[in-house]
Amino acid sequence: MKKIKGLIAATFAAFKENGEINLDIIPAYVDYLLEQQVAGIFICGTNGEGPSLSTEERMMITEKYLEVVQGRMLVFVHVGHSSIEEARKLAKHAENHRADYISSVSAFYFKPSSVSNLADCMAYIAAAAPNTPFFYYHIPAVTGIAIDMIEFLELAEDRIPNFAGIKYTAATIHEYQACLHYKNGKYDILFGYDELLLPALAVGAKGAIGSTYNYGAKLYNKVAQLFEEGKIQEAEQLHYRAVEMIRLLVKYGPIPVQRAIMEKEGLALGNSRLPLRNLSDEIKQKLYADLDQSKFLLTVQQS
């Protein structure tokens, strides 16, 4: 299987004023992301508010994206659910509609009790889409499942025939590097912390999935180019511009802030669903002032 290289944008959910999902904006969203030069998209994940969507809504979103993308970039469909049976439905549906990859977090209410239990759960989900490469979505800060990923790899390769790798969303760079080196790089380990992309590149990352790649991919691609050219100081300085912007996400709240940035970029995605809190107009204007002062979007355009 060909290894994935480049940036995958974790897309945001789009809602209408009445709270229904907005499928109509997806063609414009896809065109925007293609212009951003991403290698693919990751839909219905954390940023896509997958846990707040019904199974039927997630299926509709999957169908629309696959209809619109038409092979122009990779499509990862996140199928994780607190109900493993619902996750299997989503996996089978994604395969039927020819998604490039599927991915799943662990169940996050009744949690797996061991690495072996987690591997069995992921194997059961992946088996519903046996012809589609499967990625485990490791995000312990959200799921509370902080386990040894090397031990998981050892079990997953035996229990999941269509296992392709891990979406590794954790700051433990040393374990990430160990996963990259597992059996001479047998699996794709896609890095998931945008603010640590440069350190991840330094230990061997080739592919990454993240939220800020929606509107900042050109900058990050330039960071990767500079790194590959051995221009480490220039790469670090440019990467710091992204870090400065990400500090705003911490200040104002990550998903609502980024939805506001997308609105500033011309894609009005509507309000998030509860329990996420949306930015007031006053806070949004303060965010925009801080964003303008950082000149992050201008730097992206110039990258």
pLDDT, tens digit, for every residue of 124-174?
Answer: 999 999 999 999 999 999 999 999 999 999 999 999 999 999 999 999 999
Residue 107 lies in a domain: yes
Residue 203 lies in a domain: yes
**Among 64, 92, 167, 218, the one annotated catalytic:** 167
pTM of this structure:
0.96
Residue 124 lies in a domain: yes
- What's the confidence (pLDDT) of residue 159? 98
Residue 270 lies in a domain: no
Residues with Cβ within 8 Å of 124's Cβ and at least 6 positions away in sequence, in order, are: 84, 88
- What's the confidence (pLDDT) of residue 184? 96
Residue 273 lies in a domain: no
Give the residue numbers spanning the domain of 110. Answer: 6-216
Measured distance between the N- and C-terminal CA atoms of the chain, rounded to whole angstroms: 31
Q: At 123, which CATH number? A: 3.20.20.70
Q: What proportion of the chain, given as a percentage, has pLDDT over 90?
A: 90
Residue 264 lies in a domain: no
> Which whole number is the average pLDDT over 165-187?
97
Q: What is the spatial distance between Cα 250 and Cα 254, in angstroms, rounded to a whole number? A: 6
Tokens of 282: 């006053």
Handedness of CA 150, 155, 158, 163 (dihedral sign): negative
**Among 136, 137, 168, 252, the one annotated catalytic:** 137
Sequential DSSP letters for the chain? -PPP-EEEEEPPP-B-TTS-B--TTHHHHHHHHHHTT-SEEEESSTTTTGGGS-HHHHHHHHHHHHHHHTTSSEEEEE---SSHHHHHHHHHHHHHTT-SEEEEPPPSSS--SSHHHHHHHHHHHHTTSTTS-EEEEE-HHHH-----HHHHHHHHHHH-TTEEEEEE-SS-HHHHHHHHHTTTT-SEEEE--GGGHHHHHHTT--EEEESTHHHHHHHHHHHHHHHHTT-HHHHHHHHHHHHHHHHHHHHH-HHHHHHHHHHHTT----PPPTTSPPPPHHHHHHHHHHHHHHTHHHHHHH-
Tens-place pLDDT, residues 206-220: 999 999 999 999 999
The total domain count for the chain is 1
Residue 259 lies in a domain: no
- What's the confidence (pLDDT) of residue 302? 85
Active site residue 109: no
Active site residue 167: yes
Residue 247 lies in a domain: no
